[in-house]
């Protein structure tokens, strides 16, 4: 995804890298860069992201365009660079020399050495030489879209890999020297039972990844899955069953030593995703590539924008884009632009922080004491040592809690 990353949802480094998380103090002036690579070999039937399935990928042209956009937007941000995230699409298909060019360009433009450089990959494309080349290019964290280790569900999801390839991908990543590996898992799949999810979780834990992102399958209307549901041909677990599955995921992963630090994200100690943490703690980030989003602090408020979604439109617009000092609405690269005033930026900051296990300092909720007391009474949030956090039940209703609070 775009930034925030294209996964939907919710370290050798602890959270001390973000000591101001959800606090009233200013965040460190470190920068995260998201790079969107939209190309895939096939499009999954549940996918609603800005992806482009094609046989011939413009590897060099895409790197050229991303670097051109970098030069255009860099004056709006300050470094040094802290994290880089390659999302998609399937950036694991991008030629490693192009990935290296982009990493080098970002480093040269903003200075510093990024502590975390993540690249998303499909397990079906696993290759130890490619992984080693990506590590040499500067990638130090691999995010594998495993989704399930049950071949039946992988076929239902339209994935190009099977369970054996998923397991092999983790092994090859380790062999190539990539010591930080994250795996995605989907649950509440069509006709999935609790026992089947329990088996899937146990198989994933056995692979000993460093990080797991576990998401409920969301059926989007404009996807093939959406059409199947409307036709009554796709049955997914009920809301109550999905909630039970959410609890099973949390209990199983925490029992295996993974700490839930965001609604959908679990990490071994010291392995939280640093780049994604930027989104949840209100830090600046620059998005490059089609459908990528950017955010920067602007006085007491926030400016946000997103680029055009079509890969071809993006390639055509880069050369015509306005200089950074020009108004965004006249920029052909920009699909939308908005300014949030201080109150709106505060509401967004609270909503994002509540998704995390760290929560938010109570001082940020000044003036909302009556609403907060009602949510505490309903068992949806708790206030401990001056920090407000979602309860286990509240995590299932995170968006509703934010609306009721703000």
Span 327-358, pLDDT tens digits: 566 788 999 999 999 999 999 999 999 999 99
* pLDDT band (50, 70, 90) for residue 18: very low
Average pLDDT estimate for 364-383: 93
Q: What is the pLDDT of residue 43?
A: 83
Average pLDDT over every residue of 20-39: 67
- DSSP letter, residue 229: H
Long-range contacts from 308-311, C-beta under 8 angstroms, 24+ separation? 308/332, 308/333, 308/334, 308/335, 309/50, 309/335, 310/50, 310/52, 311/38, 311/39, 311/52, 311/62
Which pLDDT value is given to residue 322? 58
- Chain-centroid distance, C-alpha 219: 18
pLDDT of residue 6: 34
Task: List C-alpha distances in Å: 140 to 104, 120, 135, 196.
Answer: 14, 11, 6, 32
Please calculate the CA angle 377-240-253 and round it to the nearest 5 degrees. Answer: 85
HSE-up of residue 97 (Cα within 13 Å, Cβ side): 3
- What are the Cα distances from residue 386, in Å, to 79, 334, 358, 364? 32, 40, 11, 10
Beta bridge partners of 304: 295, 338
Does the pLDDT at position 14 exceed 50?
Answer: no
388 contacts 382 by C-beta, under 8 angstroms? yes
CB 88 within 8 A of CB 39: yes
Task: Compute the distance between CA of residue 51 and CA of residue 29 in angstroms, rounded to an integer.
Answer: 31
Helical segments of 207-291, H only? 224-230, 239-255, 274-280
Superfamily per CATH, domain 15-280: Aldolase class I (3.20.20.70)
Question: What is the Cα gyration radius of the chain?
Answer: 21
Bridge-based pairing of strands 334-340 and 301-307 is antiparallel
Q: How far is it, in rounded angstroms, from Cα 219 to Cα 226? A: 6
pLDDT of residue 7: 32
Tokens of 68: 């051109």
Domain regions of the chain by residue span: 15-280, 359-405
- Long-range contact pairs involving 160-163 (C-beta distance under 8 Å, separation at least 24): 160/41, 160/42, 160/122, 160/124, 161/122, 161/123, 161/124, 163/203
DSSP 150-203: -HHHHHHTT-S--HHHHHHHHHHHHHTT---EEEEEEES-TT--HHHHHHHHHH
Predicted confidence band at 326 (pLDDT cuts at 50, 70, 90)? Answer: very low
Give the full edge-to-edge strand order of the sheet including 360-361.
Answer: 360-361, 387-390, 381-384
Long-range contacts (CB closer than 8 Å, 24 or more residues apart) made by 4-7: 4/276, 4/279, 4/293, 5/34, 5/85, 5/87, 5/275, 5/276, 5/279, 6/36, 6/49, 6/87, 6/88, 6/89, 6/120, 7/184, 7/213, 7/215, 7/264
Average pLDDT over residues 14-39: 57
pLDDT of residue 269 exceeding 90, the answer is yes
pLDDT of residue 30: 83
State the pLDDT at residue 29: 62
Q: What pLDDT, in 10s, does the model give residues 106-153? A: 999 999 999 999 999 999 999 999 999 999 999 999 999 999 999 999
Whether pLDDT at 81 is above 90: yes
Rounded CA-CA distance 392/394 in Å is 5
For the chain, what is the mean pLDDT?
Answer: 89
Evaluate if residue 325 carries a pLDDT over 60: no
């Amino acid at each position: 995804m775009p930034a925030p990353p294209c996964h939907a949802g919710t370290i050798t480094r602890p959270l001390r890298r973000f000591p101001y998380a959800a606090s009233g103090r200013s965040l460190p002036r470190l920068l995260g860069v998201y790079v969107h690579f939209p190309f895939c070999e096939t499009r999954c039937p549940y996918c609603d992201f800005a992806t482009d399935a094609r046989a011939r990928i413009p590897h060099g042209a895409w790197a050229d365009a991303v670097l051109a956009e970098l030069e255009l937007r860099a004056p709006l941000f300050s470094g040094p660079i802290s994290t880089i995230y390659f999302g998609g699409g399937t950036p694991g298909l991008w030629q490693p020399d192009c990935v290296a060019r982009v990493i080098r360009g970002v480093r040269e433009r903003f200075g510093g050495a990024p502590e975390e450089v993540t690249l998303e990959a499909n397990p079906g494309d696993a290759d130890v030489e490619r992984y080693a080349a990506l590590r040499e290019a500067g990638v130090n964290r691999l995010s594998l879209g495993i989704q399930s280790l049950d071949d039946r569900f992988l076929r239902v999801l339209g994935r190009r890999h099977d369970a054996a390839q998923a397991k092999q991908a983790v092994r090859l990543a380790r062999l190539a020297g990539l010591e930080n590996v994250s795996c995605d898992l989907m649950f509440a799949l069509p006709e999935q039972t609790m026992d089947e999810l329990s088996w899937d979780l146990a198989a994933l834990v056995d692979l000993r990844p460093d990080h797991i992102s576990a998401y409920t399958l969301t059926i989007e209307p404009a996807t093939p899955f959406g059409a199947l549901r409307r036709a009554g041909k796709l049955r997914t677990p009920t809301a109550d069953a999905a909630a039970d599955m959410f609890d099973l995921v949390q209990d199983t992963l925490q029992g295996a030593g993974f700490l839930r630090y965001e609604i959908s994200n679990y990490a071994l100690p010291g392995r939280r995703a640093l780049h994604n943490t930027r989104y949840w703690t209100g830090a600046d980030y620059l998005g490059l590539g089609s459908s990528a989003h950017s955010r920067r602090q602007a006085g007491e408020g926030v400016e946000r924008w997103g680029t055009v979604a079509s890969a071809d439109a993006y390639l055509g617009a880069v050369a015509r884009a306005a200089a950074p000092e020009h108004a965004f609405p006249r920029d052909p690269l920009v699909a939308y632009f908005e300014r949030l005033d201080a109150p709106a930026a505060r509401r967004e900051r609270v909503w994002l922080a509540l998704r995390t296990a760290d929560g938010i300092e109570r001082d940020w909720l000044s003036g909302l004491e009556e609403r907060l007391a009602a949510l505490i009474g309903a068992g949806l949030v708790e206030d401990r040592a001056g920090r407000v956090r979602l309860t286990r039940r509240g995590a299932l209703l995170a968006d509703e809690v934010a609306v009721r609070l703000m």
